[in-house]
Amino acid sequence: MAIDGKTLRGCAEKLHLVSAWASESGISLGQCKVDSKSNEITAIPELLKLLVLKGSIVTIDAMGCQKKIAQEIVNQEADYVLAVKGNQGTLHEYIKTRFALSDDSRFSNHEQPHYTETIERQRGRTEKRRCWVFHDTEIADNRGWANCQTIIRISCERQFHNQTEQETRYFISTLPAQPALLLACVRAHWSIENSFHWVLDVVFKEDQARTQHENVATIDVQKTFWNPERLCVRADLSPAPTKIPIYYLNVYRNGIKS
């Protein structure tokens, strides 16, 4: 389950929504409006409390890398994979240092991380993804990150038209030190951008909507119709949205609408 935010750029007033997306089935699960005087950090816990997370893996970008959010996920008997960046400076430096020591040949006696890599070639583009994982309970025991078991480093190298791009990202997770699983979770997170937000912008023209804070009917209809359509495709059924029960929950800080 991927959690991510999106701003509706066509609104007369700033309207930012945080959505929950079932990456494997491609279904929108819910959304929460971010208060105009706040940010995603306060909206994400509200959304999580209204979802059944048990048994799922929740992925969130660096904005959601907060101890309160991690604790809420664990309280619901779910796992998390959280991106770590400069907003968690001490944690970020600790993880970077741990991997830097394992890379340095002068410290060959240090524990070495679990490792996997994948290579994809498509339409003249080559992308190599490498994933290193350490089992590390120090973050949970001494730094207050609920049930954290692993720290992750992922490096992506893209080659296209004789140009090379490289990016390195860091994560923490409650999952075991299985690099193939963790790499797949990180990749799956981006389906909320590529398969959900992109479709809302290009197909439903969401960014062109002049929706007001008090009138979100257009947004609700877009996502409600999106879900049956996706279910038909997944089940290989002919389109029949009215025959598929969809319960879509929309949560706003100023009340609940169904």
Q: Which domains does the chain have, with CATH numbers?
A: 2-257 (3.90.350)
Joined tokens for residue 131: 């994933």
What's the confidence (pLDDT) of residue 99? 94
Are the C-beta atoms of residues 28 and 106 closer than 8 Å to each other?
no
Looking at the predicted structure, is the pLDDT value of residue 255 above 50? Answer: no
How far apart CA 156 and CA 103 sit, in angstroms, is 17
Please list, in sequence order, all residues whose beta carbon lies within 8 angstroms of the beta carbon of residue 75, skipping any fewer than 6 positions away.
none
What's the confidence (pLDDT) of residue 39? 82
Q: What is the pLDDT of residues 219-232, one digit of tens each?
A: 444 454 445 445 44
What's the confidence (pLDDT) of residue 228? 46
How far apart CA 147 and CA 222 sit, in angstroms, is 37
pLDDT band for position 245 (50/70/90)? very low
Helical packing angle, 67-75 and 40-49, nearest 10°: 10
Identity of residue 36: S
Mean pLDDT rounded to a whole number for the chain: 78
Other residues' Cβ atoms within 10 Å of the Cβ of residue 221: 12
Q: What is the pLDDT of residues 103-131, one digit of tens each?
A: 887 766 778 899 999 999 988 889 999 99
Are the C-beta atoms of residues 183 and 173 closer than 8 Å to each other?
no
Identity of residue 231: L
Average of pLDDT values for 248-254?
34
Looking at the predicted structure, is the pLDDT value of residue 218 above 70? Answer: no
What's the confidence (pLDDT) of residue 70? 97
Instruction: For residue 224, count CB atoms less than 10 angstroms from its CB and return exposed for 0-12, middle for 13-18, buried for 19 or more.
Output: middle
What pTM value is reported for the model? 0.77
Q: What is the DSSP pairing of strand 79-84 with strand 27-34?
A: unpaired
Find the largest Cα–Cα distance for the chain: 65
More confident residue, 36 or 211: 36
What's the confidence (pLDDT) of residue 19? 85
Lowest-pLDDT choice from 12-16, 168-172, 226-230 = 226-230
**Comparing C-alpha atoms, which of 125, 128, 106 is closest to residue 116?**
128
What's the confidence (pLDDT) of residue 193? 72
Looking at the predicted structure, is the pLDDT value of residue 238 above 50? Answer: no
How far apart CA 128 and CA 134 sit, in angstroms, is 20
